[in-house]
Amino acid sequence: MTTVRDAPTLRDRLAPEFVAQRTALEQYQPPREFGVWMMIFHPRYLPILRWSLRVTLKCLGLYGRGVRNAHAFETRENRVSLRRLPAPFAGFRILHLSDLHLDIKPTITDALIGHLQGLQYDCCVITGDFREGLWTDPDRALAETARLMPHLRGPVYVVPGNHDSLEMAEALERMGMRVLINEHVILKRNGAAVCLAGLDDTHYYRTHDLTAALRGVPDGMPVIALAHSGEVYREAAAHGVDLLLCGHTHGGQICLPGGFPVMHHVEHPRAMSRGAWRFDEMQGYTSPGVGASILPVRFFCPPQVVIHILEESKTAAE
């Protein structure tokens, strides 16, 4: 198995022109990007609207329940049959976390740490969004992530989300995580190999580059790709990705009974908003995430820890 020790630093691995582009994009201010009226009415940027939503839920007697729901983690096992999977990787277990947003309420970190105890897996992947606010100080989110890190076993591979900056990515690498920004690593097991590729944010920054991420991957090697948002599904399928793991949607976070999301703000079908899905020959999984955004509440959409179990396809020999 590959490890993060003795690896070049993040900026050593990234092309200078990419670093310049990403840094410039991070410097855009919300009014320029969204417009003044969006800034006035968008709850993410106007504290009074967050306050109003909190008060409304409290008046309805739902706020406390929503907070409790946000601490009630479930573990979902997702068995994935891959036609090109080498036999030694059969049974390989990938712990998938997404959308941590742990700075919104530290007690969620405690609940997550407790839930992870005893889980069996070979490596961990995190598909972005460590910070709750888009442009807030990252220190609190990084501190909460540092509390979580000792409780993650094996190699930890990470891609940035639309809430994450290059500065945060460098801090995550110093914690021992391997951040994959349009690059890949080769996982090895008993002489067999699988490619794990990671993309930069595909939702807000749109600085992902599948061609760069897969450059040098041997023909015929199975590819598992990490992306913050499943909006890259068409490109990933066209590049021959076997399995795409993503998040971003929170599964809706606040849903109607039956888990139907109240809001859908991503550029992919609703069927891809939570759980397992397929597109052509590619399989995908969108995690509902372990954290919460705007308010630390969830309704009819529990926070989810996912363990993907790789299996050989019965038709692999065909």
Assigned domain for 179 exists:
yes
What value does the mean pLDDT take over residues 248-268? 82
> Are 112 and 99 a contacting pair, CB within 8 Å?
no
pLDDT at residue 2, as a whole number? 40
Q: What is the side-by-side order of every strand in the sheet holding 93-97?
A: 74-82, 304-312, 93-97, 123-127, 156-159, 178-179
pLDDT at residue 189, as a whole number? 97
Q: How far is residue 120's CA from residue 316's CA, in Å, rounded to a whole number?
A: 26
Task: Give me the numbers of helices (H) and strands (E) for the chain, helices first please.
Answer: 11, 14
Assigned domain for 268 exists:
yes
Q: pLDDT tier at 262 (50, 70, 90 boundaries)?
A: confident
- Give the domain range for residue 118: 14-312
Assigned domain for 168 exists:
yes
Assigned domain for 5 exists:
no
pLDDT at residue 186, as a whole number? 98
What value does the mean pLDDT take over residues 221-238? 96
List the single range of 14-23, 112-121, 259-268 with lowest mean pLDDT.
259-268
pLDDT tens digits, one per residue of 147-156: 999 999 999 9
Q: How far is residue 248's CA from residue 255's CA, in Å, rounded to a whole number?
A: 15
What value does the mean pLDDT take over residues 164-172? 95
pLDDT at residue 306, as a whole number? 98
Assigned domain for 144 exists:
yes
> Are 310 and 85 a contacting pair, CB within 8 Å?
yes
Q: How far is residue 102's CA from residue 292's CA, in Å, rounded to a whole number?
A: 8
List the single range of 108-112, 131-135, 232-236 with lowest mean pLDDT.
131-135
What value does the mean pLDDT take over residues 16-21? 91
Assigned domain for 297 exists:
yes
Q: Which residues of 149-184 are buried (b: 16+ CB within 10 A; e: fewer)?
A: eeebeebbbbbbbbbbbbebbebbbebebbbbbbbb
Q: pLDDT tier at 285 (50, 70, 90 boundaries)?
A: very high
pLDDT at residue 44, as a whole number? 52
List the single range of 40-49, 185-194, 226-235, 260-269 with lowest mean pLDDT.
40-49
What value does the mean pLDDT take over residues 210-237? 96
pLDDT tens digits, one per residue of 31-60: 555 554 555 455 455 566 677 888 999 999
Assigned domain for 2 exists:
no
Q: What is the pTM of this model?
A: 0.90
What Cα–Cα distance (Å) separates residue 169 from each residue in 86, 122, 278?
Answer: 31, 23, 30
**Does the pLDDT value for residue 258 go beyond 90?**
no
Greatest alpha-carbon pair distance for the chain in Å reads 60
* CATH number of 285's domain: 3.60.21.10
What DSSP assignment string belongs to 71-114? H--EEEEEEEEETT--GGGTT-EEEEE----GGG-HHHHHHHHH
> Are 43 and 50 a contacting pair, CB within 8 Å?
yes
Q: pLDDT tier at 30 (50, 70, 90 boundaries)?
A: low
pLDDT tens digits, one per residue of 189-220: 999 999 999 999 988 888 999 999 999 999 99
Assigned domain for 201 exists:
yes
pLDDT tens digits, one per residue of 90-131: 999 999 999 999 999 999 999 999 999 999 999 999 999 999
> Are 302 and 69 a contacting pair, CB within 8 Å?
yes
What Cα–Cα distance (Å) separates residue 69 from each residue in 66, 216, 299?
Answer: 5, 44, 7
**Does the pLDDT value for residue 157 go beyond 70?**
yes
Q: How far is residue 82's CA from residue 90's CA, in Å, rounded to a whole number?
A: 9
- Domain total for the chain? 1
> Are 230 and 268 a contacting pair, CB within 8 Å?
yes
| Dihedral sign (CA 196, 197, 201, 203) | negative
Q: Rounded mean pLDDT of the chain?
A: 89
Q: How far is residue 286's CA from residue 295's CA, in Å, rounded to a whole number?
A: 21
Q: pLDDT tier at 29 (50, 70, 90 boundaries)?
A: low
